[in-house]
Amino acid sequence: MNLTKKHILAFFKQQEGAIHFDALLRAFGGRHVKRELKNLLEDMGEDGEVVRLKGNSYSLPGKMKTTRGRISIHRDGYGFVTPDGGGEDIFIPSKFLKGAMHDDLVEASSSPSRMGGNKLDGRVLTVVERTTSRIVGRYEETRRGAIVIPDDQRLNLVVAIPATGRGLAQDGHQVVAELTSYPVGGRPAEGKIAEVLGWPDDPEVEVQSVIRRFDLPHVFGPDVLAEAEKITDTVSSGDLKGRMDLRSMPTVTIDGETARDFDDAVSLRREGEHFRLWVSIADVSSYVTKDSPLDQEAYLRGTSVYFPDRCIPMLPERLSNGICSLNPHVDRLTMTAEMLFDRSGTMLESSFYTSVIQSAARLTYTIVKQIIVDEDRELADKYRPVAPMLQEMKELALILMAIRKKRGSIDFDLPEPEIIIGLTGLTEGIIRAERNLAHQLIEEFMLAANEAVARYISSRDIPFLYRVHENPDPAKLQTFQEFVFGFGYEFKLVDEKVKPAELQRLLAQADGRPEERMINYSLLRCMRQARYAADNVGHFGLASDCYCHFTSPIRRYPDLVVHRILKAALALTAEKKQVGTRASKQLAIATERLAEVAEHTSKRERVAMEAERDVVEMKKLQYMQQHVGEEFDGYITGVTAFGFFVELKELFVEGLVHISTLTDDLYNHAEKQHSLIGRRTGKVFRIGDEARITVASVSPATRRIEFLLADHTAQSPDSRTVRTTAGLEEYPRIPLRGKRLTGLKPRIDVHNQDGTRSTGDRPGKRKSEPRKKR
């Protein structure tokens, strides 16, 4: 008989479970149909009619257990499927991706991994939903035709461009290609040129490429701008009705030198042994009404996005830099959190209300530091009306820092790079962003306000938008425990969980040690990403059982939602919860679709973080291209079987010293010792070692930097030995030094316990400004 797909499907429907190829071969006539059967099964597999399993077996898709989830693809070709319902990620080798692209929704099979443990291996069975419809990349004309090579290496493909779809693109142009077909069965993806951005070495084209690649809304529509134009740029007497008048108080803003939008201001008064603190936040909700064009655009964006040379704001500048910004010496509408603290840092009382303020001074971090740390008398005299208050703020901030540390809030002592952009848009330098007591002062006050608002709403059993951060992933935590044990550190796990204070103690022990930065980064990788949620599960990193984002409504949509809920709750309390009142209706509107809002804004936050990180990495590569052949000092931050990674001191740039360039010996990878060990010489390259390198090559296209080793300094030996989970090893180490942490805030943009840029509340506004966020 002529074998057809219909015959094969009918046979499968008569059977139970998977069928081995040999059984199929016997059922359809033996060896003489082997090639025909194999070809048909391959075609059916590509069409999703059957599924090929391990061991050369096949099954109908509906007859086997499958997992649905998003696939994340590594630039080296393999991927991981994260199940929608939670659980262990499934490793997908590149040959089993079945045309799936990064971030597609897929159905995948899985089975226990050969690596053991709880690991799972699998293969993609079918692509349920495509995520990518446009590709940003480099247009190239080859002998076989035109192609677009994506900037995002996780896409791991090339897009063929037919002659009719090339438009005005020239060889080497940076373009946006719209996909017209996806890769299936060995056939490449096809597309057409939708937009020509320009030449890739143009700094403006670089940034525009990132904006397109991450699909960042960056142009306000006519209806949004029209609504913004209708909003008055001054506060009228009618706006003050029902508001607390705080204009006579010495209120100040403290921001970076280049900031233009000020959404928080602070004031403090000493009352005997107590401190009364006012945190006043721009009342954006008075100007952006729910479901208006302005609100819909702000929701779509979710957050402002900050690049080294620009900001893509959540709100039009007429609001963000105008009527909503707490500019000095003008009336501004605010929401105020008033808090009373005792000498121990305990919050004795708190209250919240709409208010009007007039900022007495626009201060910078530098000015405040010079007054409260350097005790600059000239500056203190210049700002005489507020200088005594700043000293009292310093006192309270130090008390709050101490109490937060005592309860177990985690601080990652990691430096943050600051990219210096020249007038031409090119990177002129990379320096360590300054962070001093002035930054910490504002951070502590914003943290206190965020927590106070969350506790107030939570105590009234009102639906709310929380900022949550779960306990670290147990599997990653166990791996981290084994990792730090190799350096002589320990911490307690109880039921696969750890208390924040345990991790804080560990970081304090590592402070000042060669492996300090690597331990900080490794712990950050264990942390789950903080997110917004309608259900409160606490905030692990801050050791807080109730937390929210309240203090940045100009540039974070969740804060705007929190303001609306707080206003409605206050009004409801004033009306004593009368059913059917205006306040209860206002609260019902403010709390609509909170779970959906939480999911959307969490996603927009992650996209913004990825885009910001991408631009910073691009600028780093751009800078290092100017320094090929030069030598730099750094630390070994990672060791693999193919070499080790070195991060340059003060530049925060990482590159690879490939094992093939170490010509003095053959090296073995000792994974648990985090080392490469020479077979003949016994020479050891280990995490934390100092290394001097030569920049060998920089490839912006692959986002890789190659180093050559110039010199190496191993950690100083002493009588103590390095421990591993396998027992004592022969490699010496430096004794621990129990220095205290100097700060209490993670400071790098994505690596922190809050899962965002820091525990802080406010991202820096412009290229040269350190970020302050909660």
Lowest mean pLDDT among 8-22, 438-452, 612-626: 8-22
DSSP bridge pairs for 184: 187
Query: Do residues 724 and 485 touch, judged by C-beta distance below 8 A?
Result: yes
Arithmetic mean of pLDDT, 137-143: 95
Q: Cα separation of 476 and 115, whole Å?
A: 16
Provide the pLDDT confidence category of residue 52 given band limits of 50, 70 and 90.
confident
Q: Return the structure tokens found at 562.
A: 């929190």
Query: Do residues 703 and 153 touch, judged by C-beta distance below 8 A?
Result: yes
Report the amino acid identity of residue 116: G
Angle of CA points 721, 722, 724, to nearest 5° = 135
Q: Cα separation of 403 and 613, whole Å?
A: 32
Q: Return the structure tokens found at 125.
A: 């069975």
Lowest mean pLDDT among 103-117, 460-474, 711-725: 711-725
C-alpha dist (Å) from residue 137 to 104, 156, 208: 19, 12, 11
**pLDDT of the residue at 15:** 75
Provide the pLDDT confidence category of residue 759 given band limits of 50, 70 and 90.
very low
Residue 220 in this model has a pLDDT that exceeds 60:
yes
Residue 426 in this model has a pLDDT that exceeds 90:
no
Regarding predicted confidence, which is higher, 153 or 62? 153
Q: Cα separation of 440 and 365, whole Å?
A: 10
**pLDDT of the residue at 616:** 93
Host H or E run for residue 87: none
Angle of CA points 579, 585, 586, to nearest 5° = 130
Provide the pLDDT confidence category of residue 63 given band limits of 50, 70 and 90.
low
Regarding predicted confidence, which is higher, 767 or 548? 548
Nearest to 199 by CA among 418, 428, 425, 419: 425
Arithmetic mean of pLDDT, 77-100: 89
Q: Are strands 721-724 and 305-307 parallel, antiparallel or unpaired?
A: unpaired
Query: In b/e form, how buried is each residue of 428-442, taking b as 16+ CB within 10 angstroms?
Result: eebeebbbbbbbbbb
Query: Do residues 678 and 714 touch, judged by C-beta distance below 8 A?
Result: no
- Residue 635 φ/ψ region, left for φ over 0, alpha for ψ in the -120 to 50 degree band, beta for the rest: beta
Lowest mean pLDDT among 129-143, 285-299, 332-346, 579-593: 579-593
DSSP bridge pairs for 759: none
Nearest to 351 by CA among 333, 338, 361, 366: 338
Residue 159 in this model has a pLDDT that exceeds 90:
yes
Residue 428 in this model has a pLDDT that exceeds 60:
yes
Query: Do residues 427 and 757 touch, judged by C-beta distance below 8 A?
Result: no
Residue 413 in this model has a pLDDT that exceeds 80:
no
Query: Do residues 446 and 760 touch, judged by C-beta distance below 8 A?
Result: yes
Q: Return the structure tokens found at 521.
A: 């980064």
Residue 733 in this model has a pLDDT that exceeds 80:
no
Q: Cα separation of 359 and 281, whole Å?
A: 12
**pLDDT of the residue at 414:** 75
Q: What is the pTM of this model?
A: 0.84
Q: Return the structure tokens found at 696.
A: 């060998």
Q: Mutual orientation of helices 474-485 and 516-526 as an angle, nearest 10°?
A: 160
Arithmetic mean of pLDDT, 91-112: 89
The model's pLDDT over 198-207, given as tens digits with 9 standing for 90+, comes to 999 898 999 9
**pLDDT of the residue at 718:** 42
Q: Cα separation of 746 and 729, whole Å?
A: 33
Query: Do residues 483 and 521 touch, judged by C-beta distance below 8 A?
Result: no
Residues whose CB falls within 8 Å of the CB of residue 623, separated by 6 or more in sequence, listed in order: 419, 427, 428, 429, 430, 651, 653
Percentage of the chain beyond pLDDT 70 is 90
Lowest mean pLDDT among 250-264, 354-368, 632-646, 711-725: 711-725
Place of tokens 């029209």: 226
Residue 580 in this model has a pLDDT that exceeds 80:
no
Query: In the β-sheet with 667-670, what is the strand arrangement from edge to edge?
Result: 667-670, 675-678, 684-686
C-alpha dist (Å) from residue 574 to 284, 332, 338, 444, 569: 22, 24, 18, 30, 9
The model's pLDDT over 456-503, given as tens digits with 9 standing for 90+, comes to 999 999 999 999 999 998 888 888 888 888 788 999 888 888 999 999
Query: Do residues 752 and 726 touch, judged by C-beta distance below 8 A?
Result: no
Query: Do residues 251 and 278 touch, judged by C-beta distance below 8 A?
Result: yes
**pLDDT of the residue at 521:** 82
Residue 433 in this model has a pLDDT that exceeds 70:
yes
**pLDDT of the residue at 299:** 98
Residues whose CB falls within 8 Å of the CB of residue 175, separated by 6 or more in sequence, listed in order: 136, 137, 138, 139, 148, 169, 193, 194, 195, 196, 197
Query: Do residues 284 and 315 touch, judged by C-beta distance below 8 A?
Result: yes
Q: Cα separation of 452 and 281, whole Å?
A: 14
- Cα dihedral angle (629, 631, 632, 635), rounded to 10 degrees? 100
Q: Return the structure tokens found at 739.
A: 């220095």
Please classify residue 329 by burial: count the beta carbons closer than 10 Å to its beta carbon, then call 0-12 exposed, 13-18 middle and 19+ buried.
exposed
DSSP bridge pairs for 636: 646
Residue 120 in this model has a pLDDT that exceeds 60:
yes
C-alpha dist (Å) from residue 518 to 203, 277, 482, 645, 674: 32, 38, 14, 11, 11
Q: Cα separation of 743 and 410, whole Å?
A: 10
Q: Cα separation of 123 and 138, whole Å?
A: 30
Host H or E run for residue 26: helix 21-27
**pLDDT of the residue at 594:** 97
- In 167-309, the DSSP E strands lie at 174-181, 189-198, 244-245, 252-255, 264-271, 274-282, 305-307
Nearest to 614 by CA among 306, 318, 381, 396: 306
Q: Cα separation of 593 and 589, whole Å?
A: 9
Arithmetic mean of pLDDT, 394-413: 92
- Cα dihedral angle (717, 719, 722, 723), rounded to 10 degrees? 180
**pLDDT of the residue at 36:** 86
Arithmetic mean of pLDDT, 368-391: 96
Q: Mutual orientation of helices 557-574 and 582-590 as an angle, nearest 10°?
A: 160
**pLDDT of the residue at 184:** 80
Task: Quote the mean pLDDT of the chain.
Answer: 87
